[in-house]
Amino acid sequence: MFTGSRRLPGLKRSVRDPGAFIRLARSNLELWANLVIIAWAVTFAILQGTGFAITLGTVFAIWAILAVSLNLVVGFTGLLSVGHIGFFGIGAYTVAVLTSNASYEQLRTEAIPTFGWPFFAALPVGVVLAGLTAVAVGVVFNRFRDDIFVLVSFGFAIICFNVFLNARAVTRGAFGIHEVAKPQIGGWVFDDELSFLALAVVFLLVVVLLSWFIVTSSFGRVLTAIREDERATEVFGYQVTHYKLTVWVLSAMMAAAAGGLFASWTTFIDPNSFVLLESILLVSIVILGGLATIWGSLLGAMTFVLLEEGMRFVPGLPDQYVGQARQVVLGVLLVLLMLFRPQGLLGRYRL
Amino acid sequence: MSSAAEGPTPYALETVDVRKHFGGVHAVDGLSIGIPRGEITCVVGPNGSGKSTLINLLSGMLPLDGGLVVVDGVRLRVVKPHETPGLGVTRTFQDVRLFDQITVWDNIMVVLTERRLLPSLFERPRPGQRERTEQILRNVGMWEKRRSLAMDLSYGQRKLLEIGRAMALNVNTYLFDEPFAGLFPQMLERVKEIMRQMRSEGRTILFISHNMDIVRELSDHLIVMDSGRLLTEGDAEEVLAQPEVIEAYLGV
Amino acid sequence: MLRFAAYREGQGRILAAALTTAAAAYVVWKIAESPDQAVQFAFNGLSVGAVYALLALGFTLVYSTVWFFDLYYGAAAAMGAYGVFYLRTSETVGGNHVNNPYVSAVFALVVAGVIAWALHESLFRRLERRSNPTTLRAASGLLAATAGIYTGFVLTNPDHLHMLLSPAAGVTVAVAVGGVVYGVLQRLFVGTAAAPLLIISAIAGCVVGAYCGLLVAGAPGSRLYLSWIVSCLVAGAVGVALYRGLYVYMRQRARSPLIMLVASLGVLLAITAATAIVFESAPRPLPRAFGSDSWALWGGNIKGFNVFTVGVAIAGFAGLLLLLKKTALGRTIRAIGDDEEVAKVVGINTTVVIAIVFFIGAVFAAAAGLLSGHDTAIQPRMGLLLMLKGWIASVVGGIGNLYGAVVGGFALGMVEQFGIWDLAGEWKDVISFLILILFLSFWPRGLLPRG
């Protein structure tokens, strides 16, 4: 009874001793972060109407899949990868190329072969392709650590972007790929926003469950040990390279699934969705939400999506600058987090 | 040598003409020693005489530049660190290397879990593992601390936890790199107690120490090194009685 | 494991040698096939390589001093280019000013802050005992504020850049000439009293300085080149401000260099996006500098400006080399790079020295950015790629080695240009990253390892 009031400084005491308030806010930051962001999301959904909320929800689901999968690598294994967008792009392009049925000859630009596969046949191909790429890349990248790994992963993102842009015989380069098929099960086509949202959420759930399964297993514990001390983990009998490679590949495959969803959702993709900057944004989402926590990544993705929409209400900010303003805010947030809370909002691991 | 000889050789671990150099410095220079099974062996020597390098070589943390390591009669030219538990060897580190940002409990659990990749994905903590973890944590007096992160422990506790982590790996040979450095007397007694207990279970221990009282008290077998070479080796009492050892050790 | 690595490295040497031979054979074959084109590619490689070399020099200087990747370095490159664009828009877009009072104010504040801090560190410490701290504080505050306002004026009135900067140019030249003259006189008349020498050199400095100031004031054509200097200095000031205002605090508590890397990633993200807001994200041209016409030489074409770029790179290299090897400051920089703690213990003010290193690094990046901007075009995202190229060049050359940075820069430029001979030009980024991965895997110490 009495302890309760001692723990919660009243207004008066907060004025007299702001430090106490800050300490309290700090210790309860996780709670506050959860409350504020969820409240923000709910308010938004109510204010903006369901149609808008559905669109936002889909965007959120795709970013959340990416963030959760990247957190496996960054937060749990301690490999700060900025190249994740490459796998996202591989998934997106595979699905786009395999399912697109556009007659490019009419567009008077370069034509690419069309296959016209259904979405659910193309998606596994994309996922497997991304996995194979991840194996090849991972074998090479496995020996790098810390800052070298960061910069090499920059390289991976740039190489992927260049391939998307320049391998015109497959990707049509800057023209992009049109008419990516919508998912279809039997006669049921996910072509309206609501059903697509449902599909995206199902994907997200699968990814979250899978990640949860991974991180709560003995495998996940070994990953955290590798993050803390790779050589010491090795001495206790683990072949750390195999563990790192496995989680890298799994994470890449999840990202590719998100990419497939993305391609099908927008029905048109071009290389601009897979630039390095998007990858940096993704990393900042993961760090913002918190390293080594799945819920944190969901929250981070939610904040990211809400931030853009929230920006629209900033007076004096023209609409075309909203995306960039969000990047400025994220950049500043990243700096502040590194100064005051290097594990992110809900993180379990400090860089 | 002693009654503990059960295997093909009386030694749990041997080195044959082991060499290691860093640039032009010969850290270990043609060292041939034997570590008797079931005894406590101590390596002494002045700073920079290659003691830690020896443990790093035995545990595969450093590659051998020459010579052999013989584990239970198996001759090895290359020791891979992840294979050392399979060979029955584990170690602690001079600069305590715990898994800092996971809990004390997880630090022990990591050692007990499945080594094969795919099964480890499907493994959750089993009752046996839980019991073993509890037993070890109680043994090193850390059970109350099990939920705190390893990085939040005091130095002595970290040292104890690291020994506990090595104990969790149920092997025959333990290499302890300066287990007594920087410990309070109380903790020191605990570590000694643990080492005696391990000896009574028939395990082999190799440790490095600069504290001559502890060396005298604990070790059955003594190895004296100087600038990468073996100065003398033998029964602890006898070696300690040799004047040149005292001189080499104290007259650095 | 390590033995495996060593084995790998040995094997890597063979592989690297084989690859180099193959590449050399390919190049020789190509040159034999069409020498003219080879000359052209070599010229292109030289001019691109000069930019890379500049980047690598600054990068390797900063990295081998503080040992963390400061991604602001990329932003500095973009800022160098956009500074010129900002100051010279009237010439490129034709009267359509992007001049933004907020931007100018921000940079004026940064400059004022940096100057205040510099004054605090240099004068305060020395004069503290002799004079009243309040007076000192007021004086340095006033000086800093004046500098800030001056910067603001310069940034908001780019059309009168030559008029506004003529006093600064005059003063700089006067001080430099005065110093040189004094030094020469001192050598010539050993044993003479200092006062007359000082007066003579002061007069000489003032005359030359005034002449130069007038020269600048009367030459509107110098505005472009003055804007180069301004944008380099401003980028450098931002670098110092970031170091003093941010990294210093982080380095005190950081567990790993990744903290600073991520924080500077945030800085890069924010600056890139802010640039895109102020200047739009579409590529923009910079105004024509001198030497934009190409000369025909040995069957290839080369622009005078590219020769100038190469010259800047070599001058920058020589300057840095002199700084690091011959001056006391250079020795302290190397001491900090070897062991910062020890340097601190022996009484080096590491914060100041590292701030200087950051300044120099940012100036190099800005110079490289604006030079490459004049050669091609500028866009907000250019910084990151330029930084990565600089980093690759310094890895290829051997991180922490100035000779390596130059060699690596030119080598990377050449390989990129010759590599796209049979491919399309778009693949050059891929080529350089493949080279990076090859080097890191098999030759991590680079062509010329740090001694």
Q: What is the pLDDT of residue C102?
A: 86
CA gap A85, A278 in Å, rounded: 7
Other chains touching C, judged by 3 or more CB pairs under 8 Å: A, B
Task: Tell me if C215 sits within 8 A of C68, measured CB to CB.
Answer: no
Q: What is the pLDDT of residue A212?
A: 96
Q: Tell me the average pLDDT across C160-180.
A: 87
Q: What is the pLDDT of residue A301?
A: 95
Greater confidence, C109 or A22?
C109
**Yes or no, beta carbons of C258 and A150 under 8 Å apart:** yes
For the stretch B54-101, pLDDT in tens is 999 999 999 998 899 998 888 889 889 999 999 999 999 999 999 999
CATH numbers and ranges of domains, chain B: 11-88+173-179+207-250 (3.40.50.300)
Phi–psi pair at C99, nearest 5 degrees? -60, 125
Per-window interface: A 5-64 vs C, CB < 8 A:
none
**Yes or no, beta carbons of A324 and C255 under 8 Å apart:** no
Given a cut of 70, is residue C96 above it in pLDDT?
no
Angle at A243 between CA A238 and CA A247, to 5 degrees: 160
Contacts of B129 (CB under 8 A, 6+ apart): B109, B112, B113
Q: What is the pLDDT of residue B231?
A: 86
Q: What is the pLDDT of residue A85?
A: 95
Distance from CA of A324 to the nearest CA of C (A): 5
Task: Tell me if A88 sits within 8 A of A255, measured CB to CB.
Answer: yes
**Yes or no, beta carbons of B101 and A224 under 8 Å apart:** yes
Instruction: Give pLDDT < 50 ranges for chain B.
Output: 1-6, 252
- Residues of chain B in contact with residue C6, where contact means CB-CB under 8 angstroms, are 63
CA gap B239, B245 in Å, rounded: 7
Instruction: Give pLDDT < 50 ranges for chain A.
Output: 1-10
Q: Give the nearest partner residue to C257 out of A147, A281, A332, using CB atoms.
A: A147
**Yes or no, beta carbons of C1 and B80 under 8 Å apart:** yes
- Residues of chain B in contact with residue C3, where contact means CB-CB under 8 angstroms, are 63-64, 78
- Check if A241 contacts C (Cβ < 8 Å): no
**Yes or no, beta carbons of B101 and A231 under 8 Å apart:** no
Phi–psi pair at B202, nearest 5 degrees? 85, 20
Exposed/middle/buried for B148, CB within 10 Å: 0-12, 13-18, 19+? middle
Instruction: Look up residue A342 and give its DSSP letter.
Output: T
Q: What is the pLDDT of residue B247?
A: 72
Q: What is the pLDDT of residue B248?
A: 66
**Yes or no, beta carbons of A280 and C260 under 8 Å apart:** no
Interface test with C, best of A238, A334, A340, A350 (most C CBs within 10 A): A334
ipTM: 0.90
Greater confidence, C52 or A314?
C52
- pLDDT band of C4, cuts 50, 70, 90: very low
Given a cut of 80, is residue C439 above it in pLDDT?
yes
- Residues of chain A in contact with residue C1, where contact means CB-CB under 8 angstroms, are 234
Phi–psi pair at C299, nearest 5 degrees? 85, 0
- What tokens appear for B126 in the block? 């089993």
- Residues of chain A in contact with residue B147, where contact means CB-CB under 8 angstroms, are none
Instruction: Look up residue A336 and give its DSSP letter.
Output: H
Contacts of C322 (CB under 8 A, 6+ apart): C330
Q: What is the pLDDT of residue A209?
A: 97
Q: What is the pLDDT of residue C239?
A: 94
Exposed/middle/buried for A314, CB within 10 Å: 0-12, 13-18, 19+? exposed
**Yes or no, beta carbons of C2 and B62 under 8 Å apart:** yes
Task: Tell me if B178 sits within 8 A of B209, measured CB to CB.
Answer: yes
Distances (CA, A) of A260 to A54, A97, A122, A153, A297: 19, 11, 8, 22, 20
Given a cut of 60, is residue C419 above it in pLDDT?
yes
Q: Give the nearest partner residue to C384 out of A152, A276, A331, using CB atoms.
A: A276
Q: What is the pLDDT of residue A186?
A: 80
- Residues of chain B in contact with residue A234, where contact means CB-CB under 8 angstroms, are 81-82
Greater confidence, A194 or C37?
A194
Q: Which residue of C has its CA nearest to A78?
A: C258
Q: Which residue of A has its CA nearest to C274?
A: A328
**Yes or no, beta carbons of C440 and A165 under 8 Å apart:** no
For the stretch C318-366, pLDDT in tens is 999 999 999 999 999 999 988 888 998 988 889 999 999 999 999 999 9
**Yes or no, beta carbons of B110 and A222 under 8 Å apart:** yes
Distances (CA, A) of C171 to B145, C177, C178, C205, C224: 67, 10, 10, 9, 20
Residue indicated by tokens 């080399």: C321
- pLDDT band of C93, cuts 50, 70, 90: low
**Yes or no, beta carbons of C263 and A335 under 8 Å apart:** yes
CA dihedral C357, C359, C361, C366 (to 10 degrees): -170
For the stretch C352-411, pLDDT in tens is 999 999 999 999 999 999 999 988 889 888 899 999 999 999 999 988 889 999 999 999
Other residues' Cβ atoms within 10 Å of the Cβ of residue C6: 12
CA gap C276, C269 in Å, rounded: 11
Task: Tell me if B120 sits within 8 A of B96, measured CB to CB.
Answer: no
- Residues of chain C in contact with residue A281, where contact means CB-CB under 8 angstroms, are 269
Beta-strand relationship, B89-91 and B173-176: parallel
Q: Give the nearest partner residue to A335 out of C246, C258, C381, using CB atoms.
A: C246
pTM: 0.91
Task: Tell me if C270 sits within 8 A of C207, measured CB to CB.
Answer: no
For the stretch C193-241, pLDDT in tens is 778 888 888 888 898 889 888 888 888 778 888 889 999 999 999 999 9
